[in-house]
Structure 1
Amino acid sequence: MVETRRGTHTNGAAVDKEKPARSEKIEKTGKPSHKDSATSEVKEETRDIRHTVEISDNAAAGDKHGRSQSPEVGRKSQKNSHTTASIRAHQDEEPEKREEEDAAADDDTPGVLEKGIIYFFFRARVNTDEPHSLADVARTYIIVQPRSEEGVKHSSSGHCRLLALPKKVLPQTGRDRFMAFVLKADASYTELESEFLSGSEPEKQTGGNANASDQAERHYPAATAFGEGVYAIIGTSRESHLVYVLNLPEKLGAVQKQLGLTNQRGSFIVSAKNPAFPMPGGAKMVGGGPRYPKEIQDSFRSLRWVPLRPEHIDYANSHVLLIGESKGTDSIFTDDRVGRELSAEVEELADEDIDRMRRLGSTEAEAVFASLHAKDQAEGQPELAKTFG
């Protein structure tokens, strides 16, 4: 059992004792800015990915021969045999060392590779200022903001990664395998506000041969927040998991459930795609794929997919496959010592985030946008759980 400010925690479960104060829903309006420039939708991945670690250990063995010798020759032979034995003993250490290294590489003990703050957004379809269902959603987005031991990295500028999910919904079971790609790998708060969070003024759109009566106004709605919390990328030698704990909204609504956030805590298996291989079904990688440096590209070896590591999503146009986990965080936050320690680490981060969000705004939307240094964008935003009415 782990005592946190959120309550007594056992086997990865937490009971909230306190939550930020809430305020009433306010009327939603748009804010002018650039158009959403997200690229076209990629196809759903259907190939089963299972990562294996190959271990080979080749040890050389020599023949031993015994032969009767004279005393002098025997002494020389004995001396040589001691020297040879010493050399062989030294050589024998290398296979043993390789075995230890291979065993370490094959260690499936999970560990936290990265942790930080996570935000969930969607953008409504063109000219849709009041979305009422999933049909009114154009695309879903995830923002992850890593933390170091000292806190959020480069907090004055942002250091945020913006990922787009063309399928709009998050995967929930192992049958759900949805692709996401990195739109921005190191976005500043200013970039996020001007190029993503804000909408655009209505503008005239006219067809090639259209007359004035055929003109129509097109308005791109601002991004709408529907979730905020903390995350951790937890990895083993064979797979990686993206675990999240929601702090906002306090109670899930229709928008969260329709977009795949069905629980306050969840987990996805996450894999990075090797850009050296073509996309399934002949599709092209968004933006031509990431431009990894040689050391990252070489780490893929000949595999099409590898367990996601933070450095994979530090490059724009990198592609990530998310696979749902029916057990949620229970697949990681197990009853053993390691599972309990991982759970306690994430819960501690969640508790700190609750305290931080309380100080940022009197409403959920205000706190989320203030956290991204875009407090003005909260004007007209509904509370996170009430987006679909």
Structure 2
Amino acid sequence: MAKKDRQQMEIVERGDIFFLYRPRVGETDPESLSDVQRFFVVLRPEHAKKVRLLVVGRKRLPDAHEHERNWGFVSAIAGSAAALEKDLREETYDTKTRGRQRLPAARPAGEGRYLVALLNGQLHLSYALELPERPSEVQRAFKIAPQASFALSVKNPEKPSPPGLGLEQDQEPDYPDRLQREFRGRRFAREDIKLLDVQGAEFILVGARTDPEKAYNIDLDVEKEDERHSEMLRELKMTKSRHPIEPLFSGEWA
């Protein structure tokens, strides 16, 4: 990156990033993306009181090398990572036509460090994995590379969504006036990460870099982790009895 670009880059947020997936209803032995209902990303900023649970479309990250773009939305905002765990547990419910249905618990699929930087007026979300130590089939399926960066833009709820994308009107975010003004009438805002601090916020991720530490001259502060020291299991209060943890350490489906 040119020296001029480095001077125009401002790091606005750092923290822990967690990747999870939830199998489809009734699926007890997922083996591929077709067996998955949703793919989640948790952003836990340092020194912040809000933790974000994101749902990413296509049930995977966009390919950074191919500069793919994926839509997503903020599913929940909580005061702690542990408070989100209840939304990720197994659920059972009754239907008139199929009887009792079981929605499996979410599985952890990756853990690492992230930062959000403002570069030339555009937010970029960069991450580097700490777990699993050797990414395998699960990480490949969800396009969770050892590290990657994405341009991040947040959609204006007052503007229409592309056909086939977007939340229902009653699910869209209700921004306070001070945040809604950040859009300045534009379809997307690209400068303020606080726009993701509202449930229902919609965003676009566009693959940007496969080596953000080198490309942006940044340090993602990764540390060597294992099961005993996993931030994900500790902060989300994930227990083996509720959430199969094999994908996080071996990269194998569970």
| TM-score when normalising by structure 1 | 0.58
Choose 305-314 or 127-136, whichever is displaced more. 305-314
Is the Cα contact below 8 Å between 1:162 and 1:187 reproduced in 2?
A: no
Find the partner of 2:114 among 225, 231, 253: 231
Q: Which has the larger radius of gyration?
A: 1
Find the partner of 1:126 among 25, 38, 47: 25
Which residue does the alignment assign to 1:369? Answer: 233
Find the partner of 2:52 among 155, 158, 161: 161
Deviation at 1:233, TM superposition (A): 0.5
Q: Which has the higher strand share?
A: 2
Identity %: 26
Which residue does the alignment assign to 1:205? Answer: 95
- Deviation track 1:181-237 (CA, whole Å, cap 9, x = no partner) reads 0011235345312222x1024x55332xxxxxxx54411100001100000001124
Deviation at 1:289, TM superposition (A): 1.9
CA RMSD of aligned residues (A): 2.7
Is the Cα contact below 8 Å between 2:132 and 2:251 reproduced in 1?
A: no
Query: Residues 204 and 280 of structure 1: is their aligned pair in 2 closer, same or farther, counting only changes over 3 Å?
Result: closer
Find the partner of 2:210 among 306, 313, 328: 328
Find the partner of 1:350 among 222, 229, 242: 222
Q: Distance in 2 between matches of 1:227 and 1:260?
A: 11
Which residue does the alignment assign to 2:71? Answer: 179
Choose 242-251 or 129-138, whichever is displaced more. 129-138
Query: Residues 217 and 241 of structure 1: is their aligned pair in 2 closer, same or farther, counting only changes over 3 Å?
Result: same
Flag structure 2 segments of 5+ consecutive residues without an equivalent.
Answer: none
Is the Cα contact below 8 Å between 2:107 and 2:247 reproduced in 1?
A: no
2:104 counterpart of 1:221: yes
Say which SS state the counterpart of residue 83 (structure 2) adopts.
helix
Q: Distance in 2 between matches of 1:119 and 1:267?
A: 15
Aligned residue type for 1:163: L
Q: Which has the higher helix share?
A: 1
Which residue does the alignment assign to 2:154? Answer: 272
Which residue does the alignment assign to 1:281? Answer: 163
- Deviation track 1:255-305 (CA, whole Å, cap 9, x = no partner) reads 1011111x3111111101111211112755344421112222112112111
Flag structure 1 segments of 5+ consecutive residues without an equivalent.
Answer: 1-10, 12-105, 208-214
Aligned residue type for 1:176: E
Q: Distance in 1 between matches of 2:68 and 2:211?
A: 17
2:203 counterpart of 1:311: no
Please give the residue correspondences for 1:254-273 in structure 2 after superposition, counting only pairs within 5 Å: 254-261=137-144, 263-273=145-155
Is the Cα contact below 8 Å between 1:126 and 1:219 reproduced in 2?
A: yes
Is the Cα contact below 8 Å between 2:90 and 2:242 reproduced in 1?
A: no
Which residue does the alignment assign to 1:142? Answer: 41
Is the Cα contact below 8 Å between 1:108 and 1:238 reproduced in 2?
A: no
Aligned residue type for 1:319: E
Is the Cα contact below 8 Å between 2:135 and 2:251 reproduced in 1?
A: no
Query: Residues 123 and 379 of structure 1: is their aligned pair in 2 closer, same or farther, counting only changes over 3 Å?
Result: closer
Query: Residues 243 and 128 of structure 1: is their aligned pair in 2 closer, same or farther, counting only changes over 3 Å?
Result: same
Q: Distance in 2 between matches of 1:316 and 1:252?
A: 31
Aligned length: 248
| TM-score when normalising by structure 2 | 0.86
Deviation at 1:381, TM superposition (A): 3.0
2:245 counterpart of 1:381: yes
